[in-house]
Amino acid sequence: MIFKSATSKINLYILIGVIVFMFGMTVPALFDDTIEPFIVILAINLVIFLFLLWTYKTTFYIIKNDSLLWKSGPFNGTIEIKNINKIEHHKGIVVPTIWKPALSHIGLIITYNKYDDIYISPEKSKEFITLLLKTNPNIEIKNTTHVE
Protein backbone atom coordinates (compact mmCIF):
# COMPACT_ATOMS: atom_id res chain seq x y z
CA MET A 1 0.00 0.00 0.00
CA ILE A 2 1.27 3.49 -0.87
CA PHE A 3 1.27 6.31 1.70
CA LYS A 4 2.00 9.85 0.58
CA SER A 5 4.00 12.06 2.91
CA ALA A 6 1.94 14.52 4.89
CA THR A 7 2.83 18.13 4.21
CA SER A 8 2.64 20.90 6.75
CA LYS A 9 1.92 24.53 5.94
CA ILE A 10 5.06 25.71 7.73
CA ASN A 11 7.26 23.51 5.55
CA LEU A 12 5.44 24.71 2.43
CA TYR A 13 6.00 28.34 3.48
CA ILE A 14 9.69 27.64 4.13
CA LEU A 15 10.01 26.03 0.67
CA ILE A 16 8.33 28.99 -1.02
CA GLY A 17 10.51 31.42 0.98
CA VAL A 18 13.69 29.61 -0.06
CA ILE A 19 12.65 29.66 -3.72
CA VAL A 20 11.76 33.38 -3.62
CA PHE A 21 15.06 34.14 -1.86
CA MET A 22 17.08 32.12 -4.40
CA PHE A 23 15.57 33.85 -7.39
CA GLY A 24 15.73 37.22 -5.60
CA MET A 25 19.47 36.73 -5.33
CA THR A 26 19.69 36.63 -9.14
CA VAL A 27 18.42 40.21 -9.48
CA PRO A 28 21.80 41.87 -8.71
CA ALA A 29 23.36 39.86 -11.56
CA LEU A 30 20.97 41.63 -13.96
CA PHE A 31 22.78 44.92 -13.33
CA ASP A 32 26.18 43.55 -14.33
CA ASP A 33 27.69 44.67 -17.64
CA THR A 34 27.53 41.15 -19.06
CA ILE A 35 24.79 38.52 -19.11
CA GLU A 36 27.04 35.57 -18.13
CA PRO A 37 26.79 36.02 -14.32
CA PHE A 38 23.00 36.18 -14.55
CA ILE A 39 22.86 33.00 -16.68
CA VAL A 40 25.18 31.10 -14.33
CA ILE A 41 23.28 32.12 -11.18
CA LEU A 42 19.92 31.44 -12.83
CA ALA A 43 21.09 27.99 -13.97
CA ILE A 44 22.29 27.10 -10.45
CA ASN A 45 19.01 28.31 -8.95
CA LEU A 46 17.02 26.38 -11.53
CA VAL A 47 18.85 23.14 -10.68
CA ILE A 48 18.21 23.70 -6.95
CA PHE A 49 14.55 24.54 -7.65
CA LEU A 50 14.06 21.38 -9.74
CA PHE A 51 15.71 19.27 -7.00
CA LEU A 52 13.38 20.76 -4.35
CA LEU A 53 10.34 20.26 -6.57
CA TRP A 54 11.36 16.65 -7.33
CA THR A 55 11.74 15.93 -3.62
CA TYR A 56 8.45 17.64 -2.77
CA LYS A 57 6.49 15.72 -5.41
CA THR A 58 8.05 12.27 -4.87
CA THR A 59 8.13 11.68 -1.13
CA PHE A 60 6.13 8.57 -0.24
CA TYR A 61 6.24 5.24 1.58
CA ILE A 62 5.18 1.77 0.41
CA ILE A 63 4.41 -1.25 2.57
CA LYS A 64 4.96 -4.24 0.30
CA ASN A 65 5.14 -7.84 1.48
CA ASP A 66 7.46 -7.71 4.50
CA SER A 67 9.24 -4.46 3.62
CA LEU A 68 8.81 -0.75 4.09
CA LEU A 69 10.10 1.14 1.06
CA TRP A 70 10.61 4.91 1.17
CA LYS A 71 11.43 7.44 -1.53
CA SER A 72 12.15 11.14 -1.42
CA GLY A 73 13.46 12.65 -4.65
CA PRO A 74 16.68 10.85 -5.60
CA PHE A 75 16.92 9.10 -2.22
CA ASN A 76 15.27 5.78 -1.38
CA GLY A 77 15.63 2.82 0.90
CA THR A 78 14.12 -0.40 2.19
CA ILE A 79 13.53 -1.50 5.77
CA GLU A 80 12.57 -5.05 6.67
CA ILE A 81 9.46 -4.74 8.86
CA LYS A 82 10.61 -7.64 11.04
CA ASN A 83 13.64 -5.50 12.02
CA ILE A 84 11.55 -2.55 13.27
CA ASN A 85 11.84 -2.25 17.06
CA LYS A 86 10.00 0.95 17.89
CA ILE A 87 7.75 3.63 16.38
CA GLU A 88 7.63 6.95 18.19
CA HIS A 89 5.49 10.00 17.43
CA HIS A 90 7.51 13.19 16.95
CA LYS A 91 6.41 16.79 16.58
CA GLY A 92 8.93 19.52 15.89
CA ILE A 93 11.21 20.91 13.24
CA VAL A 94 14.39 19.52 14.85
CA VAL A 95 14.38 15.74 14.41
CA PRO A 96 17.00 13.54 16.12
CA THR A 97 17.62 11.27 13.09
CA ILE A 98 19.92 11.39 10.09
CA TRP A 99 17.40 10.24 7.45
CA LYS A 100 14.34 12.49 7.19
CA PRO A 101 12.37 11.68 4.02
CA ALA A 102 9.35 13.65 5.22
CA LEU A 103 7.54 16.87 4.33
CA SER A 104 5.92 17.56 7.69
CA HIS A 105 7.17 18.47 11.13
CA ILE A 106 4.69 15.97 12.61
CA GLY A 107 5.63 12.36 11.95
CA LEU A 108 7.08 9.08 13.15
CA ILE A 109 10.58 8.04 14.16
CA ILE A 110 11.06 4.40 13.23
CA THR A 111 13.88 2.57 15.00
CA TYR A 112 15.08 -0.60 13.29
CA ASN A 113 17.99 -3.03 13.46
CA LYS A 114 20.04 -2.15 16.51
CA TYR A 115 20.85 1.56 16.14
CA ASP A 116 19.24 2.72 12.88
CA ASP A 117 16.35 5.17 12.70
CA ILE A 118 14.43 7.19 10.15
CA TYR A 119 11.87 9.97 10.37
CA ILE A 120 8.82 9.72 8.09
CA SER A 121 5.44 11.46 7.92
CA PRO A 122 2.74 9.31 6.30
CA GLU A 123 -0.61 11.05 5.79
CA LYS A 124 -2.57 8.19 7.40
CA SER A 125 -0.32 7.38 10.35
CA LYS A 126 -2.76 5.14 12.23
CA GLU A 127 -3.43 3.00 9.15
CA PHE A 128 0.33 2.93 8.44
CA ILE A 129 1.14 1.72 11.97
CA THR A 130 -1.66 -0.88 11.85
CA LEU A 131 -0.24 -2.39 8.67
CA LEU A 132 3.26 -2.54 10.16
CA LEU A 133 1.89 -4.22 13.31
CA LYS A 134 0.17 -6.91 11.21
CA THR A 135 3.60 -7.98 9.94
CA ASN A 136 5.50 -7.38 13.19
CA PRO A 137 3.29 -7.32 16.32
CA ASN A 138 6.41 -6.90 18.52
CA ILE A 139 6.93 -3.25 17.53
CA GLU A 140 6.94 -0.97 20.56
CA ILE A 141 4.62 2.03 20.03
CA LYS A 142 5.44 5.23 21.95
CA ASN A 143 3.69 8.63 22.13
CA THR A 144 1.31 7.87 19.25
CA THR A 145 -1.83 9.16 20.97
CA HIS A 146 -1.54 12.42 19.00
CA VAL A 147 -1.10 10.82 15.58
CA GLU A 148 -3.83 11.96 13.19
Looking at every residue in the chain, the average pLDDT score rounds to 90
Nearest to 20 by CA among 57, 58, 59, 48: 48
The answer to whether residue 148 scores a pLDDT higher than 60 is no
Confidence of residue 145 (pLDDT cuts 50, 70, 90): low
Confidence of residue 27 (pLDDT cuts 50, 70, 90): confident
pTM here is 0.83
pLDDT of residue 117: 95
By DSSP bridging, strand 84-91 and strand 140-142 are parallel
CATH code of the domain occupying 1-148 = 2.30.29.30
The answer to whether residue 146 scores a pLDDT higher than 80 is no
